[in-house]
Amino acid sequence: MAFLCSSSLPSCSVAIFSKSNTDGFRSSPSYRLRLRPISASHVLAPAIDRSAIVISETVSEDELWAAACLRVRTFNELNPSSFNIQDHRRYLAEREFEALKERVSGKREGFTRVSCVNATLPLSQLSTSSEDLCSACKYSDGIEDRVVVGSLDLNQCRWLPDEIAGTKPEGFSVDFARAYLSNVCVAKELHRNGVGYKLIEKSKVVAREWGITDMYVHVTVVNEAAKRLYMKSGFVQESAEPAWQARYLNRPQRLLLWLSLPTS
């Protein structure tokens, strides 16, 4: 979960995104990972030309890989002094990359359609203070080197595994008219540049093209920055996860936010 932490995608384990990313701790024999909601960053945002930010659906595997690396960088907090930390980061990125490919290609059961929407900037727009971001999340679009600085998934489906299900629309249209946002994240270096808002606005455009009428996103109760972003984007609260369920899943309580999309 991130930035903006919507709930994350149902494809990987807590640490590697194969189910839903949750806030909290998960330990392995060698590493301690903390998946945390990203609130307003205290990192000083670099001066960038906001008009240079491009928001689009992913069209290449290179860009998918860069998006996977950004998610690992955002959703996991690893001790830099840990043994073989770079190998572990790459392992996590490879797992997320393969899961992303499976979802986007339509091979994941239970999902009608999935799109990875990214925010990218030309490499030349980022300062030397963003060297780690540039190194981890860079790709080439065939014309220039770009960096993925924000990402989310738009999932056309009835529900996300281990998450509260939406109630709209009802009837036979639920299979193709309902969608969820997940894995919403923005690089900490680019917080407060409107990247999260632009990602959500682009997801609305794609959703309408798919015939989606009702869009949902999950967010933790304590993530005030995320809630402000989603409310600004037009979402309203539909329901809250029961406290017992949050305890059972060993995670902070979630809210389910809903947005009605115009059909015309």
Q: Are 158 and 178 in contact (CB under 8 A)?
A: yes
Task: Report yes or no on 101 lying in a domain.
Answer: yes
Tell whether the torsion through CA atoms of 51, 135, 105 and 217 is positive or negative: negative
Buried b / exposed e along 226-249 (16+ C-beta atoms within 10 A):
bbebbeebebeebeebeeeebeeb
Buried b / exposed e along 111-145 (16+ C-beta atoms within 10 A):
bebbbbbbbbbbeebbeeebeebbebbbbeeeeee
Q: Give the active site residue among 31, 180, 216, 230.
A: 230
pLDDT band, residue 6 (cuts 50/70/90): very low
Task: Report yes or no on 239 lying in a domain.
Answer: yes
In the chain, the N- to C-terminal Cα span, in Å, equals: 32
Domain CATH number, residue 59: 3.40.630.30
pLDDT in tens, 196-250: 999 999 999 999 999 999 999 999 999 999 999 999 999 999 999 999 999 999 9
Residue 200: which of 166, 157, 151, 158 has the closest Cα? Answer: 151
Residue 234: which of 210, 204, 207 has the closest Cα? Answer: 204
Task: Report yes or no on 17 lying in a domain.
Answer: no
Task: Report yes or no on 23 lying in a domain.
Answer: no
**Residue predicted with more confidence, 108 or 171:** 108
Show the tokens assigned to 150: 């924000």
Respond yes or no: is residue 230 known to be catalytic.
yes
Residue whose token pair is 């009605």: 260
Question: In this structure, what are the phi and psi dihedrals at residue 79, rounded to the nearest 5 degrees?
Answer: -70, 115
Residue whose token pair is 């969608």: 179
C-alpha to C-alpha distance for 186 and 181, rounded to whole angstroms: 14
Is a pLDDT exceeding 90 seen at residue 79? no
pLDDT in tens, 29-49: 333 333 344 444 445 555 788
Structure pTM? 0.83
Task: Report yes or no on 158 lying in a domain.
Answer: yes
Task: Report yes or no on 20 lying in a domain.
Answer: no
Task: Report yes or no on 226 lying in a domain.
Answer: yes
Which structural domain, as residue segments, surrounds residue 91? 54-260
Residue whose token pair is 């629309």: 169
pLDDT band, residue 83 (cuts 50/70/90): confident
Residue 37: which of 77, 5, 73 has the closest Cα? Answer: 5
Angle, vertex CA 56, rays to CA 194 and CA 95, nearest 5: 95
Task: Report yes or no on 217 lying in a domain.
Answer: yes
**Confidence (pLDDT) at 31:** 35
Total domains present in the chain? 1
Query: What is the DSSP track for 63-109?
Result: HHHHHHHHHHHHH----TTSTTHHHHHHHHHHHHHHHHHHHHTT-ST
**Confidence (pLDDT) at 22:** 34
